[in-house]
Amino acid sequence: MITVLGSINMDLVTTTTRLPKPGETVAGLSFSTAAGGKGANQALAAKRAGSPVRMVGAVGDDPFAAQATAMMHVAAVDMRGVKTSPSPTGTALILVGGDGENMIAVVPGANATVSVEDARAAVGSMTRGDYLLVQLETPAPAVEAALDAARSRGVITVINIAPLTEDAARLGRKADMVIANETEFERLAGRDSLSSEEREKALLALNAETRQTVIVTLGGDGVVAVRDGKIYRAKGLKIEPVDTVGAGDTFCGYFAASLESGLPFEKALRRAAVAGSLSCLKAGAQPSIPQAADVEKEL
């Protein structure tokens, strides 16, 4: 069983031919809404990958709540840990440029009401060998409480240190496994502008110091990881991205689910990288998360 403690957002998406520079206005091409939020995206990805998944988080008492949770309900994610809070459902304002790259501003709303008590209650029913997957779009004290409680119960913990916050490096040290993009990893390693070789050395050094499994996602270049003193690399698919929103979340959910289902580490990396690539071929965070059968076809 995988428990995801994290954010649930309504994504408000505008596509443009290119992303604006600060202070610049560009013409929008289209507007759409889609279910999103790093926690919710990862929960849905893990479920589509085939694992039993429980979501813990918060939405508001408003029309966005039903839209933001609809795909998780349809996929039969266990939603009993999602509370309704007096704050509005979280929203993410997203610009997607012609090359599929994006800019995102998140308004936490109800996500900010996820409490230490919610986190402890969520982990309270977990048992040894279960997986806890967290990110940094819910309050740091709740994430920390979940990680601490999970550790004391023998639960396997995975943290995606996104988006980068001032707590990222500290909370990152508290999980068994860390998933970061290049920038997030540099924060964890305490070094900037790493070349590939330097990144691998930094991964080995971090693993030697903390014993943590650390995975760095590299966009179109796949992923590099360290586990038990050994470097692993995995490629995704060669694709022309349409929309990269949620690709990292798809990777995280598929990775956790692959391990949970007993796949060896290296195969879990490859399966998750392929799922992440496929998610870039469609618009929208949750609508673009591939089904397991589509991922298997590519493997």
CB of 279 to ligand RIB, least distance (A): 10
Strand order in the sheet with 156-160: 78-85, 53-60, 2-5, 131-134, 156-160, 177-181, 213-217, 223-227, 230-234
CB of 118 to ligand RIB, least distance (A): 19
Q: Is 249 a catalytic residue?
A: yes
What does the block give as tokens for 284?
């929208």
With CB under 6 A as the contact rule, which of the stretches 3-11, 16-24, 194-202, 206-214 interacts with ligand RIB? Answer: 3-11
CB of 35 to ligand RIB, least distance (A): 8
The answer to whether residue 245 forms part of the interface with ligand RIB (CB under 6 A) is yes
CA atoms 147, 139, 246, 248: torsion sign: negative
CA atoms 213, 179, 169, 58: torsion sign: negative
Interface residue with ligand RIB among 3, 9, 258, 277 (CB under 6 A) is 9
Please give the residue whose beta carbon sits closest to ligand RIB in the complex. 36
- Looking only at the bridges linking them, the beta strands covering 213-217 and 177-181 are parallel
Q: What angle do CA 291, 297, 299 make, to 5 degrees?
A: 105
Report the residue number, 43 or 123, with the smaller CB distance to ligand RIB.
Answer: 43
Per rule CB under 6 A, count of chain residues that contact ligand RIB: 16
Report the residue number, 179 or 257, with the smaller CB distance to ligand RIB.
Answer: 179
Residue 214: name the closest of 194, 196, 229, 192 by CA: 229
The answer to whether residue 11 forms part of the interface with ligand RIB (CB under 6 A) is yes
Measured in degrees and rounded to the nearest 5, phi and psi for residue 275 equal -60, -45
The answer to whether residue 37 forms part of the interface with ligand RIB (CB under 6 A) is yes
For ligand RIB, the binding residues in 90-119 under the rule CB under 6 A are 92, 104, 106
Report the residue number, 257 or 285, with the smaller CB distance to ligand RIB.
Answer: 285
The answer to whether residue 137 forms part of the interface with ligand RIB (CB under 6 A) is yes
Measured in degrees and rounded to the nearest 5, phi and psi for residue 181 equal -85, -175
Distance separating alpha carbons of residues 229 and 290, to the nearest angstrom: 32
The answer to whether residue 249 forms part of the interface with ligand RIB (CB under 6 A) is yes
Interface residues with ligand RIB (CB under 6 A)?
A: 7, 9, 11, 36-38, 41, 92, 104, 106, 137, 245-246, 248-249, 285
Which residues are marked as active site?
249
